[in-house]
């Protein structure tokens, strides 16, 4: 089995249904994967660059797991990437530490699928960053329509979607 690092970018998993359930499934079904719960590790947003870079060095497959916030990644994951993907580490003439590592983007949205013409367009910054770092972008796994506004009425439905999301993500990982 390859070394897998799942970076959870949710800003507060205590207030999550979809991402929490997806991560629970992944923890059960990929027991050897390392799950990086950024909200638990860095509630103050003070990220340990050294520790995070060590985790990246060990990983062969890196998964970004997050809820879409403002058509992008949550601030915590954005900050993690800004600080950890350092010039000379991940990119630049001497920065090749992420070279040939695989990256998968795994995300949930509040809006339904019909609201997105092509959600992959919103992933272009991640794809371009991966290219700059000589990483291989494998693909995305998306679950639409799991808004926090409907969780009281549709909690069960969201959990089922989350299990299906974990199935698709594990299949993508297994095919790498
Ligand atoms: C600050 C904020 C911004 C959001 N922006 C978007 C958005 O741009 N597009 C979208 O489809 N959903 C958006 N949502 C909805 C979240 O993506 C949705 O609630 C989340 O995927 C549910 O996952 P969770 O149960 O793990 O929190 C936003 C939610 C918050 C709190």
Q: Can you give the pLDDT of all 176 residues of the chain as single tens digits? A: 799 999 999 999 999 999 999 999 999 999 999 999 999 999 999 999 999 999 999 999 999 999 999 999 999 999 999 999 999 999 999 999 999 999 999 999 999 999 999 999 999 999 999 999 999 999 999 999 998 777 777 788 999 999 999 999 999 999 99
Is residue 67 lining ligand 1, measured as CB closer than 6 Å? yes
Q: Domain 4-174: what homologous superfamily?
A: Flavodoxin domain (3.40.50.360)
Test site for ligand 1: of 12, 72, 109, most ligand atoms within 8 A of the Cβ: 109
Distance 149 CA to ligand 1 centre (A): 9
pTM, entire model? 0.97
Q: What is the pLDDT of residue 57?
A: 98
CA dist 159 and 140 (Å) reads 19
Half-sphere CA count of 84, side-chain side, radius 13 A: 23
Distance 62 CA to ligand 1 centre (A): 22
Q: What is the pLDDT of residue 148?
A: 76
Residue extents of the structural domains in the chain: 4-174
**Nearest Cα to 68, choosing from 122, 32, 21?**
122
**Residues in Cβ contact with 144 at an 8 Å cutoff, skipping those fewer than 6 apart:** 108, 109, 111, 112, 113, 115, 116
Distance 75 CA to ligand 1 centre (A): 12
Q: What is the pLDDT of residue 147?
A: 87
Test site for ligand 1: of 74, 115, 121, 148, most ligand atoms within 8 A of the Cβ: 148
**Nearest Cα to 108, choosing from 119, 97, 99?**
119
Strands of 136-143's sheet, edge to edge? Answer: 34-37, 4-8, 61-67, 102-108, 136-143
Distance 68 CA to ligand 1 centre (A): 5
Element (H, E) at 63: strand 61-67
């Amino acid at each position: 089995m390859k070394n897998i690092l799942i970076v959870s970018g949710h800003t507060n998993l205590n207030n999550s249904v979809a991402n929490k359930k997806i991560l629970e499934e992944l923890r059960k079904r990929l027991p050897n994967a390392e799950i990086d719960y950024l909200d638990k590790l860095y509630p103050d947003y003070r990220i340990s660059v050294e520790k995070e870079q060590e985790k990246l060095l060990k990983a062969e497959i890196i998964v970004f797991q997050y809820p879409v916030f403002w058509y992008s990644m949550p601030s915590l994951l954005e900050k993690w990437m800004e600080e950890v993907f350092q010039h000379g580490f991940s990119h630049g003439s001497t920065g090749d530490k992420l070279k040939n590592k695989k990256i998968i983007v795994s995300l949930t949205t509040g809006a339904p699928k019909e609201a997105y013409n092509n959600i992959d367009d919103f992933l272009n910054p991640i794809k371009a960053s991966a290219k700059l770092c000589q990483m291989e972008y494998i693909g995305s796994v998306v679950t639409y329509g799991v808004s926090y506004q409907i969780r009281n009425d549709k909690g069960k439905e969201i959990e089922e979607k989350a299990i299906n999301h974990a199935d698709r993500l594990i299949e993508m990982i297994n095919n790498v």
